[in-house]
Amino acid sequence: MLFHVRMDVNLPPDMPANATDEIKAREKAYSQALQRSGKWRHIWRLAGEYANFSIFDVESNAELHDILTALPLFPYMSISVTPLCRHPSSVREDDA
């Protein structure tokens, strides 16, 4: 199942720099592991925002929920999820 996910991050302005650096490092490692596994297919930064658009390819709504809630930055995120399905005019066979 494909999902389009928008993530907006809102870290507290008074969060200590060392805590910010640590949580960002854990987030990067977790997200890159998911990308390597194929679960997190695409990630794009939104210019001028601390936000991204991502495409996830997972087995179920529950799996996506588990992945998103395990993000180290999850407590500081606003997330919106849109389920996707292959468009009949798509020329790409791997967009199932």
Give bridge partners of residue 26 from the DSSP assignment: none
Q: In this structure, what CATH number is given to the domain that contains residue 78?
A: 3.30.70.1060
In a domain, 20, yes or no: yes
- How many separate domains does the chain show? 1
Amino acid of residue 7: M
Task: Identify whether 71 is part of a domain.
Answer: yes
* Residue that the structure tokens 């995120």 belong to: 77
* Cβ-proximal residues to 6 (8 Å cutoff; 6+ apart), any chain: 51, 52, 53, 54, 79, 80
Residue 95 falls within a domain, yes or no?
Answer: no
Domain membership flag for residue 14? yes
pLDDT values of the chain reduced to their tens digit, one per residue, 96 residues: 999 999 999 999 999 999 999 999 999 999 999 999 999 999 999 999 999 999 999 999 999 999 999 999 999 999 999 999 888 898 987 766
Amino acid 32: pLDDT? 98
Domain for residue 90, yes or no?
no
In the prediction, which pLDDT does 88 show?
87
Domain that holds residue 44: 2-84
pLDDT the model gives residue 96: 65
